[in-house]
Chain A
Amino acid sequence: AQKITQTQPGMFVQEKEAVTLDCTYDTSDQSYGLFWYKQPSSGEMIFLIYQGSYDEQNATEGRYSLNFQKARKSANLVISASQLGDSAMYFCAMRDPRGSSNTGKLIFGQGTTLQVKP
């Protein structure tokens, strides 16, 4: 069964420092996509970064990078130079590769609450 595991319920980081949020996944499929979303207290899910299973290089988007280790089935999010506005809930998700080509079902982990200290 497809599953996402985030083992850190809460994390603290000092402003301007880097932080790594852990994510492991379980799938028997060879083709899949991995996502990270940020959810502030307002509720909206904000897309941060995407990694395809066949991508050879780790994805990067500004201050966000994804440390993709396929053999370990991990997709950790690294936030560099943390800012106060980064305080939010962070979710790792996997697109379910089963079903039709138009299926966009996302399987989410439990999330990690990140608090950035000034």
Chain B
Amino acid sequence: ETGVTQSPTHLIKTRGQQVTLRCSSQSGHNTVSWYQQALGQGPQFIFQYYREEENGRGNFPPRFSGLQFPNYSSELNVNALELDDSALYLCASRPNRGGTEAFFGQGTRLTVV
């Protein structure tokens, strides 16, 4: 039990639609990262938020965006969904100070049809 929860666990969307995935981090974890994991692959870093501001981004287009809220929750938004966006989306949080590991949620499996 990592204390990081994601919702929903599974989701099916149609190409061209928009989707919002949610993550609730542990209290005190003010850094949250989002990863995309295609089937059979390792997770790929999408972006990171620290104190409600984006402070790192991977090689993902602008239609991937995020928000972080003061209550340690965050969102990943994807616009204009494409078939290749089908993947497991993982949220990871860590405290600003102390600790080295990131704590992951169980992920949201998104299927785009």
Q: Tell me if B's interface is mostly helix, strand, loop or mixed.
A: strand
Contacting A108 at CB < 8 Å: which of B42, B50, B56, B107? B42
Q: Within 8 Å CB of A37, what residues of B? A: 104
Given contacts A43-B88, A43-B109, A111-B42, contact A103 B102 (CB under 8 A): no
Whether A25 is near chain B, meaning CB under 8 Å from some CB there, is no
Whether B84 is near chain A, meaning CB under 8 Å from some CB there, is no
Whether A102 is near chain B, meaning CB under 8 Å from some CB there, is yes
Q: Within 8 Å CB of B40, what residues of A? A: 111
Residues in B lying within 8 Å of A, measured CB to CB: 2, 31, 33, 35, 40-45, 48, 50, 55-56, 58, 88, 90, 92, 94, 96, 100-107, 109
- Chosen A-B contacts, 21 in total, with CB atoms closer than 8 Å, are A44-B2, A44-B105, A44-B107, A45-B43, A45-B92, A47-B101, A47-B103, A50-B100, A91-B42, A100-B50, A100-B56, A102-B31, A102-B50, A102-B55, A104-B33, A104-B56, A105-B33, A106-B33, A106-B35, A108-B43, A110-B41
